[in-house]
Structure formats: C-alpha cells, structure tokens
Amino acid sequence: MTVNLLDFGVEGLTGFCAEIGEKPFRARQLLRWIHQSGVADFAGMSDLAKVLREKLAATAVVESPRVISDHIASDGTRKWLLSVDSGNGIEMVFIPETNRGTLCISSQVGCALACTFCSTGRQGFNRNLTVAEIIGQLWWANKALGGESGSEEAESSVNKQEAVQSPGRSRAISNVVFMGMGEPLANFENVATALDLMLDDNAYGLSRRRVTVSTSGLVPAMDRLRERCPVALAVSLHAPNDALRDQLVPVNRKYPIKELLAACQRYLQSAPRDFITFEYIMLDGVNDSISHARELVQLVRDTPCKFNLIPFNPFPHSGYQRSSPEAVRLFRDVLMQAGLVTTVRKTRGDDIAAACGQLAGQVLDKTRRVQRTGHEIMQATR
Ligand code: SAH
Ligand code: SF4
C-alpha cells in the first residue's frame, strides 16, 4: 500500500523510517526535502542513497490536495479552491501585507457548529481533513508563492551552507491562521500534528506566535491544545452575553461564556503571547450597539485580551447586514476608552469572496443540516 508522506508528523516520519529499516536522521533529511524544499519526487532527493530513493518511490508518495482554481483579487489577496476528494473541496487564502504574508487555511470540509452568520457553517459538514490535506495547503502555497515559509527567528537559524545553496529565497508566508473552513479544535489530532510540522525547524520553522488557531470555543480542546502545542489563540466571542451568543454561536449552549473565559485564563498560562485575541463579528442591529460594547468591557475585565472587530462579510441569503462604519467606530471607541487594544479587520479579497466567513468550497453535507435542530448538531459534535 502506498503511503502519503505528507500525512506524517515529525514522530510519524521517524517511525516510518524505522519501519523501512532507516535511521532517525533520514527522517530529518526527508522533512527538509519535503517541507523546506517542496520536493515531491524522491529521485531529486540527492543526498539520499539510491537504494533508499528507489525504496521510497516504490512505497510512498508526497501528495497535496489538487488545485481546482486560483483567483487573485485587486488587493493582491489570492484564493485557491482545492479538491480533497470527489465532490469535496476546501478553500485557502493568502493575504500579502507589507511586513508579513498570512496564509489562511482550512481544517474541515464544512463545519458542524452551524454559527448562523457563517457561510461554511451554513453548508453543513462532511469530514475532517487529514494531516496531508492540512499541511498540504501550506506545502502547496509555499511552492506556488515561490518561497520558503518561516519567521525571523527561523531565518536567523538557517545555516550558511543552505543559504548558499538557495540564494535570495524569500519568505512569502510568515504567518498561518486556521481561519478558513472548519473548526480546527474539532479535528484536534490532525491539526496538532500539522502544527508540529509548522513549528519544526526541519520543516517550516514558524514561530508559535505566528501560528494562530481560531476557535469558536471548544473548552476541553482548548485545554488539550494548551498542553499539547500552545500556539497563538483567537477566540470567536461575537456576543457579550449567553442569550445572544447562544443564538449566534450554538456551541455556546454547551460551553457558555463563563467556562470559555476560564479556559482562556488557563490557556494564557502556557500561551506564547500574553493575551487572547477575541474576534467579534459586527452584525448590524444584532450585537453592535454601544450598550453591547459596554457589556463586553465588563465581561472581559479580568481577561488579558485584544479585540479584533470583523465587519460581517455577506453571502447569499445570510439574513444579516454588515454594521455601518459609524457603528463600528463607536463600538471600537468604547472598547479603546476602557483600555482594550482594538483593531478593525480590513476586509480583504472582497471581489473574489475570499474574506472571513465567505469561504464556501464544496461540501457534500452529511449532517442534513436543514432538517435538523441546532441541538442535534451539537450532539453530533461530541
Ligand atoms: N471555526 C473557527 C475558525 C474558522 S472561522 C472559528 O469560528 O473561530 C474564522 C473567523 O471568521 C471566525 O472568527 C468566524 O467567526 C469568522 N466569520 C465567520 N463567518 C463570517 C462572516 N460571514 N463575516 C465575517 N467573519 C466571519
Ligand atoms: Fe464553524 Fe467557525 Fe463557521 Fe462557526 S464560524 S460555523 S465554528 S467555521
């Protein structure tokens, strides 16, 4: 049976090498060839013995999801649709900025959590992505963008010999965010294995502070992440009280705000940053009044945090409207006056539907969303 080496994390690849009778250092060589140099053809892995290259060619492949379409928006934002199997597709977005390049990746085909304002949530859920499908997004984008990913920290650790071998290589992707399709913490093991690869110096060498998991608030999995692989955390809060959050983010009925904030406090004990980023979508007339902002200030008064206000990105039949710029400004001012660092997310890639919450992909829904209640959907995600 052929194995896909993109499915292996650092440990898995070492185990695979042991199985085929190779020493652990071969795993490090393979990691570098596959993830740093983006090489998929074993014949090109010049420092591996010919016998090993032939053995690998007979038993393994390096295969990422296949690109179906590629669009570039007027602001430089780039969106790819990737096929993960027949009928299912995921989306991935690259956002270039002056000082960084952020790749926004998906963790599931669809999402079972059914937030009412989210296009992915509306489409239902098919399955978790495999490790190869998650890390394969970074692997592929890295190649497509013509550079090697990495943070300044990793850059300084590049040895001289490598620098000579690949002069002038750029680092197009400096940051990765799990803000595409799906709830990353509902696909815990595969996401954690992909995170290990993102951070490993033999693979992508990204800094923990530059890899962000965004969650709608799966409390037990937040604790697991803290123990297993603490990276930067963004929490989709979206409401200042349980009554409203129950409506917008149905999983709140299972993990209400008080429990969520307690999990944030625990996470901060191991987090690479000393604050949690709260994402707050701005929905006209729903959660965007000055009194909501004041309630929010009270709610988070004991939690070190920053706010990221996200103007709602519309999609067909959403039933919501984006808050006016004036409402966003007033809301931000209340938070700022209370001493909370608050940014308003710029809407990127508008003309190609690449903004947050607009990623649609192709989802063969298995949850029969329309026939089911939110309660049943939550049961299914246990
Ligand atoms: N499931 C995770 C990560 C993917 S969603 C989560 O919910 O955090 C990434 C971000 O996009 C979340 O903050 C989510 O609330 C936000 N989002 C979803 N739909 C949106 C929309 N239509 N407009 C703007 N942001 C949206
Ligand atoms: Fe899932 Fe996040 Fe969309 Fe909610 S906002 S449905 S958790 S992808």
As a whole number of Å, the CA-based R_g of the chain is 21
- Please indicate whether residue 279, judged by its CB atom, sits closer than 6 Å to ligand 1: yes
pLDDT above 90 covers a percentage of the chain that reads 78
Among protein residues, the one whose CA lies closest to atom 1 of ligand 1: 183
Q: What is the pLDDT of residues 213-233, one digit of tens each?
A: 999 999 999 999 999 999 999
> Which has the closest alpha carbon to 245: 296, 204, 284?
296
For residues 320-338, average pLDDT: 97
What's the rounded Cα separation, in Å, for the pair 57 and 2? Answer: 9
Buried/exposed 280-294: b ≥16 CB within 10 Å, e otherwise: bbbbeebbbbeebbe
Crossing angle of helices 24-31/10-19, nearest 10°? Answer: 130
Q: What is the pLDDT of residues 349-380, one digit of tens each?
A: 666 666 656 666 677 777 765 444 334 334 43
Q: Are 332 and 309 in contact (CB under 8 A)?
A: yes
- Please indicate whether residue 286, judged by its CB atom, sits closer than 6 Å to ligand 2: no
Domain borders along the chain are 3-61, 66-380
Q: Are 362 and 87 in contact (CB under 8 A)?
A: yes
State the catalytic residues.
91, 356
Kindly give, in sequence order, each residue whose CB lies less than 8 Å from that of residue 372, ignoring residues fewer than 6 positions away: none
What values do phi and psi take at 59, rounded to 5?
-120, -15
The tokens for 306 are 């920053």
At 275, the pLDDT band (50, 70, 90 cuts) reads: very high
How do strand 108-110 and strand 125-128 relate by DSSP bridges? antiparallel
pTM: 0.90
What is the Å distance from ligand 1's center to 353 Cα? 14
Q: What are residue 66's DSSP bridge partners?
A: 83
What values do phi and psi take at 111, rounded to 5?
-160, 135
Domain 3-61: CATH architecture, name and number where available: Orthogonal Bundle (1.10)
Give the CATH number of domain 66-380; options: 3.40.50.620, 3.55.40.20, 3.20.20.70, 3.40.50.460.
3.20.20.70
The tokens for 146 are 């013509």
Q: What is the pLDDT of residues 134-165, one digit of tens each?
A: 999 999 999 999 865 554 433 333 333 333 33
At 166, the pLDDT band (50, 70, 90 cuts) reads: very low
- Cα 182 from chain centroid (whole Å): 9
What's the rounded Cα separation, in Å, for the pair 334 and 48? Answer: 60
Pocket residue to mutate for ligand 1, from 281, 323, 348, most atoms within 8 A of Cβ: 281
